Structure 1
């Protein structure tokens, strides 16, 4: 049985490649000469060296000592490359995709090195057998790294990737080493973990739906899981909150954890979420009592309020997970048009039914004022009305609720999408506005979840009073959302990022009349907009 698992999980040994070092000492000297200040060159060189190490006949113990020396440098270079991909819209550009692929290849190389050592230990190679728990932990660690790296570009692990990490865990379990501790200097708090904890890390990360989180939030979640995963376990029957179904996995059908609904099978294991619930509830209470996140093991990356919100999300995803939704989804096969970009959405709404704002001499645009001062008149080109091309894309509705819509379409590069981006949806004569709440990709499909914003959208233009005093009287194209008394939602403006300042006075043009308004409060923001409550502020 173990022989079958070894063959299924671990790579073959042997090879004919010659790495640029032949033992630990020469590898240490090679690493000292690596130009770490030149990240692209250093990243490429260390990737090639480890790939050659994986295809060489170097002794397994020697390979283990070498790769352990390389770990810190590898992670430093990986972080430097990944920082260039933070919050990039999808699909990635050609250059961005090349960077992402380079990071993915290096994580795979690290996984392969430890997996080869694991294979050698299974063959009782001299000197390596005693490191079996460490090799299993490191192999699972870098397999988990690949899963998390996929989430950075909101891509789901493939079936093959799930099968691989499950195969590693099954082998560790068959060898009775899944609960044995291994030292790991990259585990920030305790420095010790087990193969099962790393496997649970990958499972709980996936169950948390990371596709709804920003890169910063995903990193926070990863760091917290180093501890949270050690507070859980896998067993045929696990403890859960009262009247709550368990999260479980099926070793015969590798995938993200599922919610228990039917009968149990021998190949299934449940995740202990009761202990997780206790840990999370305790920290939420401490945050509400005024404790700072870093004092209770929650790091310094997030504010107390944001950390509490994420803990509540994790509690619902892992521990409560009700079997029925508060708002049921309605399946649909309809298509609709979707557009992004605040200015683009303004033109879409303004098409054929919005008069441009008046331009008086007092409030001429800054460009026109400059031309008058320099040439005595405005140019014919600037006075001509621009031709605005409205950019939209067709999406299919997968399902919908009263507060959101799930859309899908084939992956392509026609429209780049980003988390928390403003998007308008049009179905016939109905137009709705929302923000991208989550997004996920497979090899050929893209799905996005749209959280609808209350109110019917209308085109509008605004002009800042404080800017007008300096001769900058240009109007800015925005969108207004009408009030919805039934939802206690006031009329709001969607402004470009950075526009909100409490009490700021604006000239407001609705297509018919010029009024003066005052900004009251910021109700929400995304990557390309701010949603602001406003009130009238007298006549002009």
Structure 2
């Protein structure tokens, strides 16, 4: 039987032939073939124009298979010891290979000048692919390795030095404009970094990346920062550094490589898009994508207005270094146990009272839960919590502010999700507070870092259920949390309910010593497992309210 001769990946003609015959059925095999083509041409040093022809022909396939490969680790933070680390390494290597290929063509042709009319395209492609390597670490919720930012800065610096950074070139992979300059490719990566990428799930990250390309043309980088405009609401980028944008006021002596990130025009663009949202425009018509629901798109864009439109690096509350161990739990009933100091029970006197307590009274190992659970000592609480499985993880505090904590843990023991409700007890705190996971990231050494935003107010466990004419009196209450108003933080009183409960004007019954009927008036925050809502008490019982069902 005749054997096919091996492909010479150093030959542009053979590479083009392989691409014509390629079928995107086996993603792994296809990705390896594409990587072999890119690496083979780098080694072979073919004529610059032929090398460029292959690279331009391969871009669509590379874009597709890379996105498919990334789905394997984009849903959750990728630990350094995960089996999918090899997948991340392969994806990053191919992005970097593409960037190096365009850089090599540019250097190789510098003397001959046969591709002078392609200088801007070579520069844009190099910056774009270098930026994609950085973004892949963001997607995997991994700290970029040393030198990753420096590579991106260097790629843009070369385009700037050659005077082609601002020249737009055709780019069919840019979903909105179908064109992009090296400056816009660089700004896109910067915008993603400013968008709290480690706090984005797979779907939101995809939108943020697309929108960064959409809004990049409205940003600029200014050399020689204007000291009169330098304040907390300004970012600077050091092209000689190995890090992303930082508050310009932190750069005490800006050097020649420092650029001021100017998003003055972007603020107006975001406001205009938000106005269109309010008028009922579809996200696709606004260049935001057909896969983005209007409500989710408006909420995400609003959250990006401050870091993108205002380029605001200012924190409402400054962070301070911290030390000690914080307790953290993410299970709903576990949070209630540690906040209330007892097992959640149906309210006394209700038709369902006692049933849950009876169900949970018989414990493992032949023990029984004490009937009088109030007034436990800390030692008793910890013992019963361990018996019931209501345990907390211990996290080291890195720093903190009035409204949040930055924590780290190794090894990582409990899987957390973005925007998940958690209970947290600070190292020096006597009580558990409610918090929301704002970002998650693995460092190269395997340490998990997490950002926790604390919900204002000292929480109290209450019982809640839907209210309506046809709601059976035996329908069980569910655990919820009441947060009092905090005038100092301009935070109104609120309820934290199970996820999906909020509907405008919905009436619920809350039991806190006695039953009361409340009308839900607004959604303050929504996470993966909770709704934080504002409310108002009903002056008269709403006995005619229709039956409702929580989602």
Report the TM range for the smaller structure's normalisation: 0.7 to 0.9
Task: Give per-residue Cα distances to partners, 1:350-395, cap 9 Å, x unaligned.
Answer: 65566688999999999x99xxxxxxxxx99999969422332222
Shift of 1:186: 1.2
Residue correspondence of structure 1 range 133-152 to structure 2 within 5 A: 133-152=120-139
Equivalence for 2:14: 26
Pick the aligned partner of 2:101 from 113, 126, 132: 113
Q: Are 2:66 and 1:78 aligned?
A: yes
SS of the aligned residue for 2:211 comes to helix
Q: Measured at CA, do residues 42 and 478 of structure 1 come closer, stay the same or move farther in structure 2, by a change above 3 Å?
A: farther
Runs of 5+ consecutive residues of structure 1 not aligned to the other structure: 1-17, 370-378
Q: Are 2:349 and 1:345 aligned?
A: no
Shift of 1:425: 0.8
**Larger displacement relative to structure 2 (481-490 or 225-234):** 481-490
Q: Distance in 2 between matches of 1:96 and 1:391?
A: 29
Shift of 1:432: 0.3
Q: Are 2:96 and 1:94 aligned?
A: no
Task: Give per-residue Cα distances to partners, 1:63-84, cap 9 Å, x unaligned.
Answer: 3222222211111122223334
Q: Measured at CA, do residues 504 and 162 of structure 1 come closer, stay the same or move farther in structure 2, by a change above 3 Å?
A: closer
Pick the aligned partner of 1:452 from 436, 446, 454: 454
Equivalence for 2:495: 492
Shift of 1:163: 1.3
Equivalence for 1:389: 389
SS of the aligned residue for 2:43 comes to coil
Preserved contact between residue 277 and residue 315 of structure 1 (Cα < 8 Å): yes
Task: Give per-residue Cα distances to partners, 1:42-99, cap 9 Å, x unaligned.
Answer: 3344334433443345444333222222211111122223334443256487244444
Task: Give per-residue Cα distances to partners, 1:318-341, cap 9 Å, x unaligned.
Answer: 454567544344443243111112
Q: Are 2:530 and 1:529 aligned?
A: yes
**Larger displacement relative to structure 2 (68-77 or 453-462):** 453-462
Preserved contact between residue 350 and residue 459 of structure 1 (Cα < 8 Å): yes
**Superposition CA RMSD, Å:** 4.4
Equivalence for 1:276: 266
Q: Distance in 2 between matches of 1:208 and 1:420?
A: 15
Q: Distance in 1 between matches of 2:475 and 2:298?
A: 42
SS of the aligned residue for 2:109 comes to helix
SS of the aligned residue for 1:391 comes to coil
Q: Provide the TM-score with structure 2 as the length reference.
A: 0.75
Shift of 1:204: 3.1
Residue correspondence of structure 1 range 404-483 to structure 2 within 5 A: 404-427=403-426, 428-444=429-445, 445-459=447-461, 478-483=479-484
Q: Distance in 1 between matches of 2:229 and 2:302?
A: 18
Q: Are 2:287 and 1:297 aligned?
A: yes
Preserved contact between residue 421 and residue 527 of structure 1 (Cα < 8 Å): yes
Equivalence for 1:217: 204
Equivalence for 1:161: 148
Q: Provide the TM-score with structure 1 as the length reference.
A: 0.76
Q: Distance in 2 between matches of 1:225 and 1:241?
A: 28
Q: Measured at CA, do residues 62 and 355 of structure 1 come closer, stay the same or move farther in structure 2, by a change above 3 Å?
A: same
Residue correspondence of structure 1 range 169-184 to structure 2 within 5 A: 169-184=156-171
Task: Give per-residue Cα distances to partners, 1:386-412, cap 9 Å, x unaligned.
Answer: 94223322223333333x222222553
Q: Measured at CA, do residues 110 and 264 of structure 1 come closer, stay the same or move farther in structure 2, by a change above 3 Å?
A: closer
Task: Give per-residue Cα distances to partners, 1:191-219, cap 9 Å, x unaligned.
Answer: 33222222222233323433344433332
SS of the aligned residue for 1:154 comes to coil
Equivalence for 2:384: none
Q: Distance in 2 between matches of 1:333 and 1:381?
A: 36
Q: Measured at CA, do residues 506 and 231 of structure 1 come closer, stay the same or move farther in structure 2, by a change above 3 Å?
A: closer
Q: Distance in 1 between matches of 2:230 and 2:255?
A: 20
Q: Distance in 1 between matches of 2:339 and 2:107?
A: 62
Q: Distance in 1 between matches of 2:188 and 2:74?
A: 22
Q: Distance in 1 between matches of 2:235 and 2:54?
A: 39
Q: Distance in 2 between matches of 1:538 and 1:177?
A: 68
Residue correspondence of structure 1 range 162-311 to structure 2 within 5 A: 162-237=149-224, 246-261=234-249, 262=252, 264-288=254-278, 290-304=280-294, 306-311=296-301
Q: Measured at CA, do residues 319 and 247 of structure 1 come closer, stay the same or move farther in structure 2, by a change above 3 Å?
A: farther
Q: Measured at CA, do residues 203 and 484 of structure 1 come closer, stay the same or move farther in structure 2, by a change above 3 Å?
A: closer
Shift of 1:143: 0.6
Q: Distance in 2 between matches of 1:44 and 1:520?
A: 54
Shift of 1:166: 1.6
Shift of 1:420: 0.4
Q: Measured at CA, do residues 42 and 422 of structure 1 come closer, stay the same or move farther in structure 2, by a change above 3 Å?
A: same
Q: Distance in 2 between matches of 1:329 and 1:171?
A: 36
**Larger displacement relative to structure 2 (348-357 or 47-56):** 348-357
Q: Are 2:54 and 1:63 aligned?
A: no
Shift of 1:142: 0.6
SS of the aligned residue for 1:430 comes to coil
Equivalence for 2:548: none
Equivalence for 1:398: 398
Q: Distance in 2 between matches of 1:358 and 1:190?
A: 62
Q: Distance in 2 between matches of 1:99 and 1:141?
A: 21
Preserved contact between residue 181 and residue 194 of structure 1 (Cα < 8 Å): yes
Shift of 1:532: 5.4
